[in-house]
């Protein structure tokens, strides 16, 4: 299962890593956006219980 | 509170650009000669690196403004920038690890930039933790701003130090030279990620401002309750 | 220069308090020794590995002991509201900072003559008196690098609930340059420096010290000004 970089060659099976990287980015962006949306609703709704 | 429309536009444009740039980077740009398809990770990784650094620099500027003026809005902007900087820094580390595994065969190769990012993410996350323990809003603002200033000054120090430290051992450089044919998706994504980061910062800032407002309303009531309940142990005033 | 006089007085006060309560200081020293022991257990009785890591273990022991010393430094001040008294005296916050940071540095420096021989014995390091002095000198630079931001953060965290966690959490990432620099420098002192790298690392440490002793001195006033 060699995915090591060869001096003059091409890395085989790279697409899975590319997908992983873009997928991670998408998940983090979406997840953080959702977290922001959720916290904003709490902040607007609950003055007493916030923090 | 007036809806800030500008940030919604910024966010949407950023998202559109990110989709466009990523499409080009993934499907239309040529594969790199040595690294093959793995190179395409750079169209996400490099923009994330630039944005996280810019956002943390903004946090530093806001921190100075906060300490100087004492105004709540600078504290809010600083908090927003710091949190987004931490999130993007953490993402950067994840992307870097995914890139490193096929390239170097290991998940972590002590790359100077990633190592510095890791240290800085922990540091600035710690400052966010500090904030959660300080109840008085003015003290929270001042203390975390001071910490951000101290932390940001550390960034070049850590960077150069790790670089010297590494240069004595293996010399594995991370090739980040980009061929001219690949500049377009990189530029598009760079702007895209920055716009998205700005949108994140704006949202987080608004949350912080809302919380500040809630505090000034809730504080007298909460203080009355607390003083009535507990014997005044001088833990935190 | 009234401030210099204030600093001297405050340092003397801190050292006197430290001497009077010296069991506290002793416990920090013992903690350092225990840490050195723990590293030996972590690595195993392999003298080559231990010797190779000796500089790192020493610096880590210093670092871990420093958080105890730093938080202790402010606990007394807060217990009797002594800090407010000082600020009302009036003592300049700047003077207060430099006095505290200096006291902390001196205290950490005192760990060196105890911990270094222990490390020498445990890790089978060859060391002469000249080398020992060099190590202590470098230790001093490292201690100063830890004390400046450490004093400032300790002033903050000693007021808070989770201070035991917060101080290391904030301090350790910040002082990575001190950590890396002093480990490298001390390792070079212990094992020889064929490529003359020691001056660069010493310069890095000194640079860090200068930057943070200035910066933290300026910022300390903001940390203690509001209702300490």
Q: Which residues pair with B118 in a beta bridge?
A: none
pLDDT above 70 (res B53): yes
- Provide the phi-psi class of B134: left if phi over 0, else alpha when psi is between -120 and 50, else beta: beta
Please report, for residues A31, B7, B11, the alpha-carbon distance to residue A38 in angstroms, rounded to integers and kept in the order given: 11, 18, 17
Q: Which of A26, C155, C129 is nearest to B91 (CA)?
A: A26
User: What's the CA dihedral at C133, C136, C141, C142 to 10 degrees?
Assistant: 150
pLDDT at A32: 96
Cβ contact B149:B67 at 8 Å:
yes
Q: Which of A37, A50, C223 is nearest to B149 (CA)?
A: C223
Task: Summarize pLDDT for C180-202 with one digit per residue, the tens.
Answer: 999 999 999 988 888 888 999 99
Q: Which of the two residues, B30 and B148, has the higher pLDDT score?
A: B148
pLDDT at B66: 96
For B41, what's the count of Cα atoms within 13 Å in the CB-facing half-sphere? 31
Please report, for residues C14, C26, C29, the alpha-carbon distance to residue C19 in angstroms, rounded to integers and kept in the order given: 9, 10, 14
Q: Does B104 touch chain A (CB under 8 A)?
A: yes
pTM of the model: 0.88
Task: Summarize pLDDT for C46-63 with one digit per residue, the tens.
Answer: 888 898 899 999 999 999
Q: How far is A25 from chain B (nearest CA, A)?
A: 7
Q: Which of the two residues, B89 and B227, has the higher pLDDT score?
A: B89
pLDDT at C71: 85
Task: Summarize pLDDT for B151-166 with one digit per residue, the tens.
Answer: 999 999 999 999 988 8
Reported as a pLDDT band with limits 50, 70 and 90, residue B221 is low
CA A33 to chain centre: 11
pLDDT above 50 (res A8): no
Residues of chain B with pLDDT > 90: what percent? 55
Q: Which of C134, C121, C87, C92 is nearest to C6 (CA)?
A: C92
Q: Tell me phi and psi for residue B81, to 5 degrees.
A: -65, -40
pLDDT at B178: 57
Q: Does B160 touch chain C (CB under 8 A)?
A: yes
Kindly determine whether residue A14 and residue B95, on different chains, have CB atoms separated by under 8 Å. no
ipTM of the complex: 0.90
Averaged pLDDT, A28-45: 92
Contacts of C223 in chain B (CB under 8 A): 142-143, 146
pLDDT at C31: 93
Which helix (H) or strand (E) element contains residue B39? Answer: none
pLDDT at A2: 44
Q: Which chains touch C (3 or more CB pairs under 8 A)?
A: B
Give the 3-state secondary structure of residue B34: coil
Three-state SS across chain C? Answer: CHHHHHHHHHHHHHHHHHHHCHHHHHHHHHHHHHHHHHHHHHHCCCHHHHHHHHHHHHHHHHHHHHHHHHHHHHHHHHHCCHHHHHHHCCCCHHHHHHHHHHHHHHHHHHHHHHHHHHHHHHCCCCCCHHHHHHHHHHHHHHHHHHHHHHHHHHHHHCCCCCHHHHHHHHHHHHCHHHHHHHHHHHHHHHHCCCCCCHHHHHHHHHHHHHHHHHHHHHHHHHHHCCCC
pLDDT at A45: 78
Reported as a pLDDT band with limits 50, 70 and 90, residue B129 is very high
Q: Which residues pair with B32 in a beta bridge?
A: B36
For A39, what's the count of Cα atoms within 13 Å in the CB-facing half-sphere? 18
Reported as a pLDDT band with limits 50, 70 and 90, residue C159 is confident
The rounded mean pLDDT for chain B is 86
Q: How far apart are CA C11 and CA C20, in angstroms?
A: 14
Residue of A25, A38, A39, A46 to mutate, testing the B interface (most B Cβ within 10 Å of its Cβ): A25
Please report, for residues B188, C6, C99, C215, the alpha-carbon distance to residue C3 in angstroms, rounded to integers and kept in the order given: 56, 5, 10, 17
| CB within 8 Å of B53: residues ≥ 6 apart | none
Q: How far apart are CA B190 and CA B49, in angstroms?
A: 9
Kindly determine whether residue B150 and residue C219, on different chains, have CB atoms separated by under 8 Å. yes
Contacts of B237 in chain C (CB under 8 A): 227
Cβ contact B193:B51 at 8 Å:
yes
pLDDT above 50 (res A6): no
| Closest Cα in chain C to B128 | C170
Q: Does C219 touch chain B (CB under 8 A)?
A: yes
Reported as a pLDDT band with limits 50, 70 and 90, residue B232 is very low
Reported as a pLDDT band with limits 50, 70 and 90, residue B169 is low
Task: Summarize pLDDT for B94-107 with one digit per residue, the tens.
Answer: 999 999 998 888 99
Which helix (H) or strand (E) element contains residue B70? Answer: none
Residues of chain C with pLDDT > 90: what percent? 49
pLDDT above 90 (res B218): no
Peptide bond preceding C90 in cis form (omega within 30 of 0):
yes
| Closest Cα in chain B to C216 | B150
Averaged pLDDT, C197-226: 92
Q: Which of the two residues, C62 and B226, has the higher pLDDT score?
A: C62
């Amino acid at each position: 299962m060699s995915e090591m970089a060869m001096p003059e060659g091409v890395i085989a099976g790279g697409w899975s890593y590319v997908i992983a990287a873009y997928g991670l980015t998408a998940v983090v962006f979406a997840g953080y956006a959702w977290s922001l949306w959720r916290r904003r609703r709490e902040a607007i709704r609950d003055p007493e219980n916030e923090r | 509170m007036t809806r800030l429309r500008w940030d919604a536009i910024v966010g949407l444009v950023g998202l559109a650009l990110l989709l466009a740039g990523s499409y080009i980077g993934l499907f239309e740009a040529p594969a790199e000669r040595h690294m093959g398809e793995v190179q395409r990770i750079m169209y996400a990784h490099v923009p994330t690196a630039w944005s996280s650094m810019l956002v943390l620099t903004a946090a530093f500027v806001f921190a100075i403004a906060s300490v100087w003026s004492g105004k709540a809005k600078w504290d809010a902007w600083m908090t927003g920038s710091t949190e987004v900087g931490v999130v993007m820094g953490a993402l950067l580390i994840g992307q870097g690890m995914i890139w490193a595994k096929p390239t170097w065969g290991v998940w972590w190769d002590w790359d100077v930039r990633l190592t510095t990012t890791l240290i800085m993410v922990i540091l600035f996350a710690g400052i966010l933790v500090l904030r959660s323990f300080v109840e008085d809003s003015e003290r929270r603002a001042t203390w975390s701003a001071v910490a951000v200033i101290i932390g940001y000054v550390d960034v070049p120090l850590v960077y150069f130090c790790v670089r010297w430290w590494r240069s004595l051992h293996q010399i594995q450089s991370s090739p980040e030279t980009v061929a001219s044919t690949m500049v377009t998706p990189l530029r598009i994504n760079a702007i895209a990620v920055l716009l998205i980061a700005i949108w994140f910062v704006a949202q987080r800032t608004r949350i912080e401002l809302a919380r500040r407002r809630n505090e000034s309303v809730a504080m007298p009531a909460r203080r009355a309750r607390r003083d009535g309940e507990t014997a005044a142990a001088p833990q935190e005033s | 220069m009234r401030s210099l006089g204030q600093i001297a007085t405050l340092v003397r006060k801190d050292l006197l308090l430290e001497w009077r309560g010296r069991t506290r200081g002793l416990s920090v020293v013992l903690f350092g020794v225990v840490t050195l022991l723990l590293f030996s257990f972590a690595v195993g009785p392999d003298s080559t590995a231990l010797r190779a890591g000796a500089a790192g273990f020493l610096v880590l022991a210093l670092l871990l002991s420093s958080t105890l010393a730093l938080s202790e430094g402010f606990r007394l001040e807060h217990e009797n509201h002594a800090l407010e008294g000082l600020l009302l005296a009036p003592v300049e916050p700047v003077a207060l900072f430099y006095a505290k940071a200096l006291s902390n540095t001196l205290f950490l420096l005192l760990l060196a003559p105890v911990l270094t021989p222990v490390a020498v014995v445990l890790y089978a390091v060859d060391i002469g008196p000249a080398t020992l002095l060099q190590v202590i000198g470098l230790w001093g630079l490292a201690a100063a690098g830890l004390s400046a931001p450490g004093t400032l953060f300790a002033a903050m965290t000693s007021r808070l609930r989770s201070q035991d966690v917060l101080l290391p959490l904030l301090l350790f990432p910040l002082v990575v340059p001190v950590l890396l620099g002093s480990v490298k420098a001390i390792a070079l002192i212990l094992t020889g420096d064929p490529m003359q790298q020691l001056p660069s690392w010493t310069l890095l440490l000194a640079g860090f010290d200068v930057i943070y002793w200035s910066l933290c001195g300026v910022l300390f006033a903001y940390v203690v000004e509001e209702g300490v």
